[in-house]
Structure 1
Amino acid sequence: MDIFGTLKRDMDFIERQLYRSIEGDDELLSETSLHLLKAGGKRLRPIFVLLGGKFGNYDLEKLQHVAVPLELIHSASLVHDDVIDDAGTRRGKPTVKAKWDNKIAMYTGDYIYAKALMLATQLENPQLHRILAKAMVQMSVGEMEQIRDFFNTDQSVRHYLLRIRRKTALLIAISCQLGALASDATAKVHSLLYRYGYNVGMAFQIRDDLLDLCGTEKSIGKPPGSDMRQGNITLPVIYALQEEGLKVPLLREISAIREQGADADASKAIQMILSSQGISRAEQLADRFIGKAMDALDELPESKTRTHLKEIALFVNKRSY
Structure 2
Amino acid sequence: MQQLIWQDEPVTVTLIQEKEPGMEGGSVIVECAANCNPQPHKYTWLKRQKGLINKISSTERRKPFHNITRDTSLSCIAYNDIGTGKSDWLDLEVQYAPEILPESSCHLTGEVLKCVCQAEASPNASIHWTINGNNNLTSSFIFVSTNKKNVVSGEISAAAQNQSNISCTATNSLGSNTKQLSVLSKTSSLYMWLMALLLGLLFGCAMFIYREYSKNRPQRPQSISVNVQEEHSNTNIQRSQDEDTQSNPYTPESNPEVDEPSCIYNNELVEEIRRPTIAQRHKNNRTAPQREGEIQPLEKSGVDCNTDVYLNC
Q: Shared fold (TM-score greater than 0.5)?
A: no
- Judging by fraction of residues, say which structure has more strand: 2
TM-score, length-scaled by structure 1: 0.19
- Judging by fraction of residues, say which structure has more helix: 1
Larger radius of gyration: 2
Higher relative contact order (CA 8 A, sep 6+): 1
TM-score, length-scaled by structure 2: 0.19
